[in-house]
RNA sequence: GUGGGUGUAGCUCAGUUGGUUAGAGCGCUGGUUUGUGGAGCCGGAGGUCGCGGGUUCGAUCCCCGUCACUCACCCCA
C-alpha cells in the first residue's frame, strides 16, 4: 500500500475543524492587533535561506529540502516564514507604507528532521512580523499577541521565557568572556558541548546535560554585557509586560537557533508536550534586512508551531457549523421531488444533504442520524400528492407538517 | 545522523509455555415484518499475525536481518 512520506501527516476531517478554529482565532487576533495577512510562496531560491538563517545552522546545513529547478537554479522548500516575508517586503517596497509594516502569515514549512512527538517534516506555522519599528513597545505588542493567542485557545500551564541576546557586537564581547569561563572546564562538558564551545558557545548555556548545567552555574550572564542601548530597550520591554500584567520568566540561558536574531528573544513553553515543549517563539532580527541587501530596518516577529498547539488543545474544541438539514426522499415521486428541494435549500444558503443509497425511510433516517443532522425533511409519495412534507427535529423528535413552499422560509426563521 | 521501544481486524488491544478453522470491545453492515434514527437482541463482512530468511515434523510465537511506526538525543516551532 502507498503511504505518505515519512514525517508528513494527513489532517483528517475530524481534526480539520480544530485547525479551522485555530486559524480563525489566529486571523482574528492578528487583525485586532493591526497585522495584515501576507501569502508568500512555498519555495524560494536557496540563497535566500542560506543568507538569512545562517550558513552554519543545522537548518541550512542539513535540514532543507533543496532541489534544482529545470534551468539549474537551486530552489528550497521554505523551512520558516520570516525570510520569505522579508524578501517579499523588500521586493514590493512594503516598508514605504505604515499599513504594510505589520504582517502575519500561515502555512506549511519543511525541514528534513527525524520525526518525533511535536516534530514533523512538513509542519504548519502561524507567524507575525512587525517591520521598521524600533520602539520597545512593539516588542511588547508582539509578545502579548502571542501570549493572548494561546490564552484565547484555552491553553494552560504556559511559561513565557524572555531574554535579550544583545546585538551582534554585544554578543561578540560576551562570547569572548564565556569562552574564557568555559575553557578550564572544557573536559567536564559533554561531547556535544565540547563541539559547541568552538562552533556556537551560547548553546552550551541551554544544554540539558546535568554536568553541563552544573559547569555553567556561575557562568557570565549575557544581560550583564549588553550595551546601554540594548539594555535600556530590554528593560523597557520588561516594564511594558509588567504594566500589562503579563507574567514572564527571565531566562538568561534562552538562546535562539537562527543567526538573524538579536536583542529581545522569547519563547513560550508547555510542560505537557514531551521534548518539543516550545509552542511559539520569536525575537528581534534587526540585522536581517541588511543581510538581504535591504535598508537597515529593525524588526521583530514570532512563529507558532501549530501541530504542537493541536496536541495541547482539548479535542472537543471545534468550529461551530450551521445546522444540517437532511432530506429524506423516497418513492417514485418522492425521491426526485426531494432532490429538487435539496437544490432549493442549498440555494437558500442552508446546509443540506441527502443519501443517494438509502431506499427506505428507516435507512434514510439512520443516515440522517449518522450525519448528525439537526433536521430531517421526510418526503415520500404520500407527501408529494398532498403537497406537504414533514419536518422532523432530530433531537426532540417532534414533527410538523408543512407546505413545500413554506419550508425554506420556515427554516430561515430559525427552524 | 545516533540510541531505545513497538509492529496481531478500520481503531484500541488480548492471545498462543511453538500444535488443527487467531479472539474481544468499538466501528462498519444486514435483520428485528411491511413509512420513522440513536438503545436492545440476532446475524455478517473484514486479518498473508509488518516483510524476508533461519531453527523445527510444525512458527503469529524462538533466532537473525530488514522495513515501518514511535519516543529520546541532536535541532527547533
Considering the domain boundaries, does residue A192 fall inside one?
Answer: no
User: Is the Cβ atom of A100 within 7 Å of strand B at any atom?
Assistant: no
Distance (Å, rounded) from C-alpha A385 to C-alpha A392?
19
Is the same domain home to A282 and A156?
Answer: yes
CA nearest neighbour of A300 among A136, A169, A162: A136
**Closest nucleotide (CA of A280 to C1')?**
B77
Q: Of A286, A312, A338, which marks where a domain is finished?
A: A312
Q: What is the ipTM of this complex?
A: 0.84
Q: Of A312, A336, A365, which marks where a domain is finished?
A: A312
Considering the domain boundaries, does residue A194 fall inside one?
Answer: no
State the pLDDT at residue A234: 96
Name the phi and psi angles at A349, rounded to 5.
Answer: 85, 15
Q: What is the pLDDT of residues A205-264, one digit of tens each?
A: 878 777 888 888 888 888 899 999 999 999 999 999 999 999 999 998 888 777 788 999
User: Is the Cβ atom of A304 within 7 Å of strand B at any atom?
Assistant: yes
State the pLDDT at residue A273: 87
In chain A, residues 129 through 188 whose Cβ sits under 7 angstroms from any atom of nucleic acid strand B: none
Is the same domain home to A66 and A106?
Answer: yes
User: Is the Cβ atom of A79 within 7 Å of strand B at any atom?
Assistant: no
Q: What is the DSSP letter of A267?
A: E
Is the same domain home to A253 and A393?
Answer: no
State the pLDDT at residue A215: 83
User: Is the Cβ atom of A78 within 7 Å of strand B at any atom?
Assistant: no
Rg (CA), chain A: 28
Residue A82 exposed, middle or buried by CB count within 10 Å (0-12, 13-18, 19+): buried
Q: What is the mean pLDDT of residues A338-343?
A: 93
Considering the domain boundaries, does residue A361 fall inside one?
Answer: yes
Strand order across the beta sheet in which A262-269 lies = A36-37, A102-110, A122-131, A299-305, A278-284, A262-269, A159-164, A249-250
User: Is the Cβ atom of A276 within 7 Å of strand B at any atom?
Assistant: yes
| Distance, Å, A359 CA → B33 C1' | 17
Task: Specify the higher pLDDT residue, A381 or A129.
Answer: A129
pTM of the model as a whole: 0.90
β pairing state of A351-353 and A375-379: unpaired
Distance (Å, rounded) from C-alpha A233 to C-alpha A164?
9
Is the same domain home to A304 and A346?
Answer: no
State the pLDDT at residue A297: 95
**Closest nucleotide (CA of A380 to C1')?**
B35
Q: Of A280, A312, A344, which marks where a domain is finished?
A: A312
Q: What is the mean pLDDT of residues A78-87?
A: 96
In chain A, residues 204 through 263 whose Cβ sits under 7 angstroms from any atom of nucleic acid strand B: 207-209, 256-258
Considering the domain boundaries, does residue A172 fall inside one?
Answer: no
Please state the domain count of chain A: 2
State the pLDDT at residue A409: 76
State the pLDDT at residue A212: 81
Is the same domain home to A265 and A405?
Answer: no
State the pLDDT at residue A106: 96
Is the same domain home to A48 and A144?
Answer: yes
Is the same domain home to A233 and A336?
Answer: no
Distance (Å, rounded) from C-alpha A114 to C-alpha A349?
46
Is the same domain home to A139 and A268?
Answer: yes
CATH label of the domain that carries residue A252: 3.30.930.10
**How far, CA to CA in Å, does A386 sit from each of A334, A335, A380, A401?**
11, 15, 10, 11
| Distance, Å, A311 CA → B62 C1' | 40
Q: What is the mean pLDDT of residues A259-274?
A: 90
CATH label of the domain that carries residue A408: 3.40.50.800
Whether the pLDDT of residue A390 is over 60: the answer is yes
Beta bridge partners, A104, equal A37, A128
Is the same domain home to A261 and A346?
Answer: no
| Distance, Å, A112 CA → B48 C1' | 34
pLDDT band at A408 (very low <50, low <70, confident <90, very high): confident
Q: What range defines the domain where residue A405 resides?
A: 325-414
Please state which of the ranges A10-19, A85-94, A308-317, A344-353 shows the lowest mean pLDDT: A308-317
Amino acid at each position: 500500500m502507498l503511504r505518505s512520506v515519512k514525517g508528513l501527516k494527513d489532517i483528517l476531517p475530524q481534526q480539520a475543524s480544530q485547525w479551522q478554529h485555530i486559524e480563525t482565532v489566529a486571523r482574528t487576533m492578528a487583525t485586532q492587533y493591526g497585522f495584515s495577512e501576507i501569502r508568500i510562496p512555498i519555495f524560494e531560491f536557496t540563497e535566500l535561506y542560506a543568507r538569512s538563517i545562517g550558513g552554519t545552522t543545522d537548518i541550512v546545513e542539513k535540514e532543507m529540502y533543496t532541489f534544482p529547478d529545470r534551468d539549474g537554479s537551486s530552489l528550497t522548500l521554505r523551512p520558516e516564514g520570516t525570510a520569505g516575508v522579508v524578501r517579499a517586503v523588500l521586493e514590493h517596497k512594503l516598508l514605504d507604507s505604515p499599513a504594510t509594516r505589520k504582517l502575519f502569515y500561515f502555512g506549511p514549512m519543511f525541514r528534513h528532521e527525524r520525526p518525533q512527538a511535536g516534530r514533523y517534516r512538513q509542519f504548519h506555522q502561524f507567524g507575525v512580523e512587525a517591520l521598521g519599528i524600533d520602539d520597545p513597545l512593539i516588542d511588547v505588542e508582539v509578545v502579548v499577541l502571542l501570549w493572548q493567542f494561546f490564552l484565547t485557545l484555552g491553553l494552560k500551564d504556559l511559561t513565557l521565557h524572555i531574554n535579550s541576546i544583545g546585538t551582534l557586537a554585544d554578543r561578540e564581547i560576551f562570547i569572548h568572556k564565556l569562552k574564557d569561563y568555559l575553557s578550564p572546564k572544557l573536559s567536564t562538558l559533554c561531547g556535544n558541548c565540547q563541539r559547541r564551545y568552538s562552533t556556537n558557545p551560547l548553546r552550551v548555556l541551554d544544554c540539558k546535560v546535568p554536568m553541563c548545567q552544573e559547569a555553567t552555574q556561575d557562568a557570565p550572564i549575557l544581560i550583564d554585557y549588553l550595551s546601554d542601548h540594548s539594555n535600556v530597550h530590554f528593560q523597557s520591554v520588561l516594564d511594558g509586560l509588567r504594566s500589562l500584567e503579563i507574567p514572564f520568566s527571565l531566562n538568561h540561558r534562552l538562546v535562539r537557533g537562527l543567526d538573524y536574531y538579536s536583542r529581545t528573544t522569547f519563547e513560550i513553553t508547555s510542560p505537557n508536550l514531551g521534548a518539543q515543549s516550545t509552542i511559539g517563539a520569536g525575537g528581534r532580527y534587526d540585522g536581517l534586512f541588511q543581510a538581504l541587501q535591504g535598508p537597515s530596518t529593525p524588526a521583530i516577529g514570532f512563529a507558532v508551531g501549530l501541530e504542537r498547539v493541536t496536541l495541547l488543545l482539548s479535542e472537543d474544541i471545534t468550529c461551530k457549523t450551521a445546522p444540517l438539514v437532511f432530506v429524506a426522499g423516497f418513492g417514485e415521486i418522492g425521491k426526485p421531488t426531494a432532490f429538487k428541494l435539496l437544490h432549493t435549500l442549498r440555494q437558500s444558503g442552508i446546509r443540506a444533504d441527502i443519501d443517494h443509497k438509502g431506499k427506505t425511510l428507516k435507512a434514510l433516517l439512520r443516515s440522517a442520524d449518522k450525519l448528525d443532522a439537526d433536521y430531517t425533511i421526510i418526503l415520500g409519495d404520500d407527501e408529494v400528492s398532498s403537497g406537504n412534507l414533514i419536518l422532523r427535529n432530530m433531537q426532540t423528535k417532534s414533527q410538523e407538517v408543512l407546505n413545500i413552499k413554506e419550508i425554506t422560509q420556515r427554516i430561515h426563521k430559525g427552524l
